[in-house]
Amino acid sequence: MSGVSLTGISVGLLLIITEQTCSSAAAVRAPRSACVNESELTERSEAFLRRRWHHVHLLPGHLAPRASSTCEQTAARAAGDKSDRSVSPWRYSINRDMTRIPHDIAFAECLCNGCIINQHEDMRYNSVPVTVQMMVLKKIDCHKSKYMLQRDFIKVPVACTCVVPKSTK
């Protein structure tokens, strides 16, 4: 269990808590399903990001280029950030979708298939992503340059953890 990034998970939990406490305040203005023009769309998108995603700037902070970017290099180094020192190390990459609000989300990617035990990748264990369900908006085309914003929930990988493979009892 030492592979779990508490930082990554606490970001996720914070989002879930925020999600619930803010939901009553979310019922504002015109129906969410209405088609709106470009400026109204921008305004709504920005309001959504302020309300729901203002914590998430914590994630892109990890996006600085990595000195160690393979499993082997990370195993040998065992230094630096939690994502490098974990027995199931990961890096972040930007997942971009221009029809989604927010467009860019940092996704964690496991560097190893196995886990790093005594500075070597041990295939008796598996690195697996830890995901958090997050609310995004999808931009849907109406007609005549109008758009609709629709709620959607996606699973965002925020870190990796080390598990025993399912087949091993």
Ligand X SMILES: *[C@@H]1O[C@H](CO)[C@@H](O)[C@H](O)[C@H]1NC(C)=O
Of 23 and 37, the one with the shorter C-beta distance to ligand X is 37
- Alpha helix positions (H), the chain: 6-22, 38-52, 71-77, 82-85
How far is 166 from 169, CA to CA, in rounded Å? 7
Which of the ranges 21-29, 32-40, 89-97, 121-129 carries the binding residues for ligand X, by CB under 6 A?
Answer: 32-40
For 40, 43, 84, 91, the CA distances from 37, given in Å and listed in that order, are 5, 10, 45, 38
Report the nearest approach of ligand X to the CB of residue 55 (Å). Answer: 30
**Angle at which helices 6-22 and 38-52 cross, to 10°:** 120
Binding test (CB under 6 A) with ligand X, winner from 26, 32, 35, 40: 40
From the list 2, 10, 33, 37, which residue makes contact with ligand X (rule: CB under 6 A)?
Answer: 37
Binding of residue 32 to ligand X (CB under 6 A):
no
| CB 131 to ligand X: min, Å | 37
Given the rule CB under 6 A, which of 36-44, 58-66, 73-81, 119-127 is the region that contacts ligand X? Answer: 36-44
Give the residue carrying structure tokens 């994630």: 59
Contacts of 153 (CB under 8 A, 6+ apart): 133, 134, 135, 136
How many residues bind to ligand X according to rule CB under 6 A?
A: 3
What strand order describes the sheet that includes 147-163? 100-101, 126-141, 147-163
Quick check: 39 binds ligand X (CB under 6 A)? yes
Q: Which stretch binds ligand X (CB under 6 A): 19-27, 35-43, 58-66, 126-134?
A: 35-43
Binding site for ligand X (CB under 6 A): 37, 39-40
